[in-house]
Amino acid sequence: MLRLNQKLKIGIIGAGPAGSMIAYRLAKAGHEVHILERKSSVERKVCGEYLCPKGVELLQDLNLLEKLCHKFSPLFGMVLVSPMGEIIPSYFPQTLREEKGLSLHRKIFDENLLQLALDSGAVLHYKTVTNAFQKTDETWSVVASEEIFEFNFLIAADGRQSKIGNHLGHVDNIYTTRIALHCFLPRKISRGQRLGEMHILPHGAYCGLDPVSDDEVNFSIVCDSLRLKTERPKDIINQEIKNSKRLSEMFDPVTDETDIKIVSSLKNKNHFIAGDNLAYVGDAAGFIDPLTGEGIYNAIQSSTILADCLENYPDVPQALAAYKKRKKQLSFQKNILNHFFQFLIRRSFLIKLTVKFLKKSPERASNFIGIIGNIHDPVTGFIKMLKA
Ligand SMILES: Cc1cc2nc3c(=O)[nH]c(=O)nc-3n(C[C@H](O)[C@H](O)[C@H](O)COP(=O)(O)OP(=O)(O)OC[C@H]3O[C@@H](n4cnc5c(N)ncnc54)[C@H](O)[C@@H]3O)c2cc1C
């Protein structure tokens, strides 16, 4: 049994926020930490680049906010736009020390976090695509592009298409036809306030806007991939811009030069999570459609919980059992919430009712995005909405 009072050789697959955060904590605790990353440098990932207020608060609690995020601008709330064009500006509820989110730049944020891990003593192996994983006795062997690594303890932080999860049969195949179209768009007008925007579009599609800089907006649409059979990505985006008064005031139609990225696999369900000297963190441990924009927070939070468990228990099996329990509790709540919102945005009569309900009081709208931004747990948030 691996005891935690000894120095362990730990392999971490993936240098995204989850991998870098756990590498930082474990290297700081004195373990020998190796990060294996398939890419040759940190890239700006396809992401809405919105860090929810709870994520900002967590970084502050860890004393890392200034170090990682000093270059980024705040977001004070979100404008909700219904398919009928109704606009509900809403501000994060004032219940936290940090009642604001942030507009990140993923390349800078991921680089800062990775640097923190390296400064704490973690070793980074770039261009290392890991392909096969096998455990014999107390050792995990990882077959990578040009080398075989051996570790006492393995952490999978390889994202929502987790190779390890698939290789070891720890992920359930979930069929989804949802895709995201993502690009950066220059905006014609600035509305002054720093607010993100969530546009609910017909047929369960939605569009998220994050004003990442004064003149550029991070723009993503999540819709059904079937549309790609008859429309090009550019046409889908232009159709939605044309159909919306607010979007067409903000953006010119996109052109052939616009760099539009398409991402699929917007779901990953992992039934294993932790055990056998192996733990999954971040998207590799589970990913749901990015509707509520909390993937970065989840990545940092799961790695923080795992590091805390490894610090507080005497051996790895006990620490992993505690991590798994906590992670399951959290994903249960998040899954219910996400499914509820997915159900809501597919039913126009429910959207109409919700809009009517939220428009009655700014405090209601504020508590609604408080639930989305993880500021309120769902039950507290709903009670506050009803009372407002
Ligand atoms: C369209 C879209 C919009 C989003 N918008 C937001 C948002 O606004 N806010 C938010 O909080 N979240 C958002 N997310 C989610 C967010 O991007 C992820 O949750 C976050 O990046 C998860 O971090 P991670 O470290 O778990 O995984 P990743 O960031 O995916 O990192 C995984 C790393 O593992 C590496 N890797 C993968 N396989 C291997 C292998 N076999 N060997 C070695 N290395 C490997 C990859 O190269 C990568 O660097 C969005 C996601 C999508 C798809």
Structural domains of the chain, ranges and CATH numbers in brackets: 9-49+104-174+266-341 (3.50.50.60), 178-263 (3.30.9.100), 347-387 (no CATH)
Q: What is the mean pLDDT of residues 176-195?
A: 90
Pick from 108, 109, 158 the residue to mutate for probing ligand 1's pocket: most ligand atoms within 8 Å of its CB: 158
Confidence of residue 98 (pLDDT cuts 50, 70, 90): low
Confidence grade of residue 162 (pLDDT, cut at 50, 70, 90): very high
Structure-model confidence comparison of residues 164 and 369, the more confident one: 164
**140, pLDDT greater than 80:** yes
What is the average pLDDT across 69-75?
94
Is the pLDDT score of 93 beyond 90? Answer: no
- Ligand 1 within 6 A of 301 CB? no
Query: If you measure from the C-alpha of residue 16 to the centroid of ligand 1, how many angstroms do you get, rounded to a whole number?
Result: 6
Average pLDDT estimate for 179-206 = 91
Q: Is 240 in the pocket of ligand 1 (CB under 6 A)?
A: no
Residues contacting 336, CB < 8 A, separation 6+:
378
> Which tokens go with 3?
């005891």
Average pLDDT over the chain reads 93
182 lines ligand 1 (CB under 6 A): yes
List of residues 6+ apart from 295 with CB closer than 8 A: 47, 282, 283, 287
Mean pLDDT lowest for which of 88-102, 221-235, 271-285?
88-102
Alpha carbon of 151 to ligand 1 centroid (Å): 24
Query: Is the beta carbon of 108 within 6 A of some atom in ligand 1?
Result: no
Band (292; pLDDT cuts 50, 70, 90): confident
Pocket lining: 18 vs ligand 1, CB cutoff 6 Å: yes
Q: Residue range 238-248: average pLDDT?
A: 96
367 pLDDT above the threshold of 60: yes
Q: Quote the percentage of the chain above a pLDDT of 70.
A: 99
- What is the Cα–Cα distance from 118 to 113, expressed in whole angstroms? 9
Ligand 1 lined by 296 (C-beta under 6 Å):
yes
133 pocket-lining for ligand 1 (C-beta < 6 Å): no
What global pTM score does this model have?
0.95
SS3 148: strand
At residue 42, the pLDDT reads 98
pLDDT band at 97 (very low <50, low <70, confident <90, very high): low
Cα distances (Å, whole numbers) of residue 26 to 73, 75, 135, 344, 353: 30, 31, 21, 41, 48
Residue 95 has what pLDDT?
A: 63
> Is the pLDDT confidence value at 192 over 80?
no
The residue that leads in pLDDT, 370 or 306, is 306
Q: How far is the CA of 306 from the centre of ligand 1 (A)?
A: 18
Q: Summarize pLDDT for 208-225 with one digit per residue, the tens.
A: 999 998 889 999 999 999
Give me 295's structure tokens: 């993937």
d(CA 104, CA 123): 25
User: Ligand 1: which residue has its CA nearest to atom 37?
Assistant: 158
Q: What pLDDT is attached to residue 96?
A: 55
Centre of ligand 1 from the C-alpha of residue 156, in Å: 12
Of residues 192 and 172, the one with the higher pLDDT is 172
Separation between Cα atoms, residue 3 and residue 333, nearest integer Å: 32
pLDDT of residue 324: 98
What's the order of all strands across the beta sheet hosting 101-103? 50-51, 101-103, 73-75
